[in-house]
Structure 1
Amino acid sequence: MEPTDLIAVGASAGGVEALREFVSGLPDDLPAAVLVVLHMPARGTSALAAILARAGKLPVEPASNGGKLQAGHIYTAVPDTHLLLRDGRMVLSHGPTENGHRPGVDATFRSAAVAWGPNATGIVLSGALDDGTAGLALIKRRGGLAVVQDPEEALYQGMPESALRHVAVDMVLPARDIGPAVAAKLQSRGVTAVPPLSGLDRLEADIDAGHRIDRNGVASMSVPSGYTCPDCDGSLYPLEDGLRYRCRVGHAWTAEALLTEQGIQVEKALWTALRALQEKRQLAERMCADAKRFGDETLSKRFADQAAEHRGAAEILRKLLVGTGKDEPA
């Protein structure tokens, strides 16, 4: 049976537990199709469909490219592809990552909002940072339902709390109670006018799908932010909501995720610098010993001074990276 509605669910850290609770509460006569996106590594396989199939009454299967949606069925995103929608069918896209993720929660939510309008429901469950907020906001603007897991229940509160800060959600519930509440709401919901999509909404949907876009893309709608994309080192352009950025080729970042990724890159650069200083110290010590062996005291002292300088700089970096403790060996 073709679905009358579309439910898109997004989760990240702590999401498996929340998804199991959510699925266990879904009624067996649900008139909607359910898409589930859980952030996962790009390589490898996912056992999510099998896990969720044991948790509830509805059939669960991995999403397939071109697969037709059926009411009362749950479809899970697969690694390294965005789960999108077109003409009542699923589309697996290798479009640019969002916050470093593919599949991305926002990509699926955005596609649900574009394709299903007021018949779309977005549900944000446990997860770190702020993934899902932008997509949930678009679902709400298009007349759909916005639902968030109670942050007090979520193992990781970042995603639910971000959604609550930026979206006028319709329901905040424990994961187990969301399914029955949404099913009841879908039965009683009236007809809603569908607001038009903005140019940015259409552009982002095309980017998610991997479509060829105008050569300027988001650059034609904004000015460079001065930040660079962690994925490709290109310029990032602020989007109109003021909370997100995209680069020219389409990688998307929220401000919070960008700050976190920049911290990771800074730490990586510091570890690289520490390794280089240690190698320089070892090389200087070796050259000092060689100079001593050949009786060149002046050269030996110069290399000894360099080794001491590199040793001191390396120690400063090491303390910055790992700190020091009373019981730490010299």
Structure 2
Amino acid sequence: MSGRPLVVVGASAGGVESLRAVVRGFPPDLPAAVLVVLHTTPGGSSVLASILDWAGPLPASTAVDGDELLPGHIYVAPPDHHLTVLDGRCSLSRGPQENGHRPAIDPLFRSAVRAAGSAVVGVVLTGMLDDGAAGLAAIARHAGATVVQDPADALYPSMPQAALSLVPNAATASADKLGPLVADLVQQAPAIDPTPDDPLLNQETAIAELDMDALNDPDRPGVPAGLGCPDCNGALFAVPEGALTRYRCRVGHAWSPESLLARQNAAMEGALWMALRTMEDKAALHRRLADSANDRGAPLVATQNLRSAGELGEAARLIRDLLAQEPPGQP
């Protein structure tokens, strides 16, 4: 089959409008299957496939495990499932979250490279943090075409900026220009390549697909990072991949540096709120004990409890001040 048979697209916050603009620009005879990941919440259902089906000339549907990939069709990842490419078909799994997401963009991009080598066009659209950047870099390393929404056009520019930091030569354009650009790249592309010899990429993709051989492999890549996984508290291993170092724990959760910092900030905030609640509960209990001591005619005990309540109140005030500040490392 001539031309690039796979187009993979990733988006997050603000992504629905950008995706509509992209698919609106596709020609009706696009000779490639299009696979889309949009970060979604785990519960409920997604109407994204219906939105994209109405937005442009190509039919769109929510991916079903085992769907054959047909040119000129858009396949959308369902909530709470990674979408990958396996043997020319859609593969869905509830594998470990990557960058705090399922579906995540990086597993789709890596699986596309595994399936088609350089015969892939990868597209990163608007979103927060940096999911998709490592996957786009994998496409670039294997000579695939890389496309990024112009950060100035993105409602949330973080994902496009992160992608461009790793793949500075990626083509950029506003969302309404990306459809024709992708179509041109598909037409210019070589025939599909054989699966590349990239053990790290293949293993990382297999982990997302819940391949037990990959998950139980004692020779998993990476070296101890001295960090804990914020999702399971397991040890994280640093996995160098080109210019980027990512992190993965033994059960499979994967993190880019930015995503790991964001999840650590969230965990730290949760711990601070818990500490604040505990201190305020203890202060309230000390005040009750002081009242009880006064009723019994034990002023010394009452004074000690009031002193403890005051110290806890001051500590609680300091924690509230910390919670009012921006987390370290955030703009």
Q: Distance in 2 between matches of 1:283 and 1:315?
A: 17
Cα displacement string for residues 257-302 of structure 1 (whole angstroms, at most 9, x for unaligned residues)? 1111111111111111110010000000001101111111111111
Q: Output aligned runs, 1:137-176, within 5 Å.
A: 137-176=137-176
SS at match of 2:75: strand
Q: d(CA) in 2 for partners of 1:314 and 1:219?
A: 47
Q: CA deviation at 1:86?
A: 1.1
C-alpha distance in structure 2 between counterparts of 1:21 and 1:313, whole Å: 51
Match of 2:35 in 1: 35
Give the CA deviation at 1:123: 0.3
One-letter amino acid of the structure 1 residue matched with residue 225 of structure 2: S
Distance (Å, rounded) in 2 between the aligned partners of 1:301 and 1:210: 60
SS in structure 1 opposite 2:151?
coil
Which residues of structure 2 form unaligned runs of 5+? Answer: 326-331
More displaced 10-residue stretch of structure 1: 166-175 or 212-221: 212-221
After TM superposition, the score normalised by the length of structure 2 is 0.92
**Which residue, 235, 239, 243 being the options, matches 2:245?**
243
**Equivalent of 2:254 in 252, 261, 270:** 252
What do residues 66-88 of structure 1 show as CA deviations (whole Å, max 9, x unaligned)?
11111111111101100011111
- Structure 1's 47 and 192: CA in aligned 2 closer, same or farther, altered over 3 A? closer
Secondary structure in structure 2 of the residue aligned to 1:230: coil
- Percent identity of the aligned residues? 46
Residue of structure 2 in register with 1:327 after alignment = none
Question: CA RMSD of the aligned region, Å?
Answer: 2.0
CA distance in 2, matches of 1:211, 1:94: 11
Aligned to 1:263: 265
- What CA distance in whole angstroms lies between the structure 2 residues aligned with 1:319 and 1:43? 34
When structure 1 is superposed on structure 2, of 192-201 and 298-307 the one drifting more is 192-201
CA distance in 1, matches of 2:214, 2:88: 27
Deviates more, 1:259-268 or 1:279-288: 259-268
Alignment of 1:258-297 (within 5 A): 258-297=260-299
In the TM superposition, residue 121 of structure 1 has moved relative to its aligned partner by 1.1
Does the aligned pair in 1 maintain the 2:4–2:186 contact within 8 Å? Answer: no
The list of structure 1 runs, each at least 4 consecutive aligned residues, that deviate by more than 4 angstroms after superposition, is 1-4, 191-195, 214-220
Contact 1:236 1:246 in 2 (8 A): yes
Distance 1:291 1:197 in 2: 76
Letter of the structure 2 residue corresponding to residue 303 of structure 1: N
- Equivalent residues in 2 for 1:90-129, closer than 5 Å: 90-129=90-129
More displaced stretch, 6-15 vs 210-219 = 210-219
Q: Distance in 2 between matches of 1:279 and 1:152?
A: 48
In the alignment, residue 253 of structure 1 is paired with which amino acid?
A: W
Task: Report the AA paired with residue 136 of structure 2.
Answer: L
Q: Return the TM-score normalized by structure 1.
A: 0.93
Query: Is the 8 Å Cα contact of residues 4 and 121 (structure 2) preserved in structure 1?
Result: no
* 2:11–2:126 CA contact under 8 A, matched in 1: yes
Query: Residue type matched to 1:199 in 2?
Result: P
Q: C-alpha distance in 2, partners of 1:264/1:210?
A: 27
Aligned counterparts, 1:1-330, within 5 A: 5-191=5-191, 196-213=196-213, 217=217, 220-241=220-241, 242-322=244-324
2:164 and 2:218 map into 1 onto residues whose CA distance is 27
Q: Is residue 27–residue 57 contact of structure 1 (8 Å, CA) maintained in 2?
A: yes
Q: Which amino acid aligns with 1:244?
A: R
Contact 1:3 1:70 in 2 (8 A): no
Q: Take 1:216 and 1:50, find their aligned partners in 2: how far apart are those partners?
A: 39
User: In the aligned structure 2, how far is the partner of 1:247 from the partner of 1:93?
Assistant: 18
Q: 2-side partners of 1:322 and 1:185: how far apart? A: 48
Q: Which amino acid aligns with 2:126?
A: S
Mean Cα deviation higher: 73-82 or 238-247: 238-247
Report the number of matched residues. Answer: 323
Select the structure with the greater relative contact order (CA < 8 A; seq sep ≥ 6): 2
Q: Is the 8 A contact 2:206 2:214 kept in 1?
A: no
Q: CA deviation at 1:105?
A: 0.4
SS in 2 for 1:110: helix
* Deviation at residue 116 of structure 1 after TM alignment: 1.4
How far residue 144 of structure 1 moved from its aligned partner, in angstroms, is: 1.4
Structure 2 SS opposite 1:44: coil
Paired residues of 1:3 and 1:71 also in contact (CA < 8 A): no
The secondary structure found in structure 1 opposite 2:152 is coil
1:171-192 Cα distance to aligned partner (Å, 9 max, x none): 1111121121221222223358
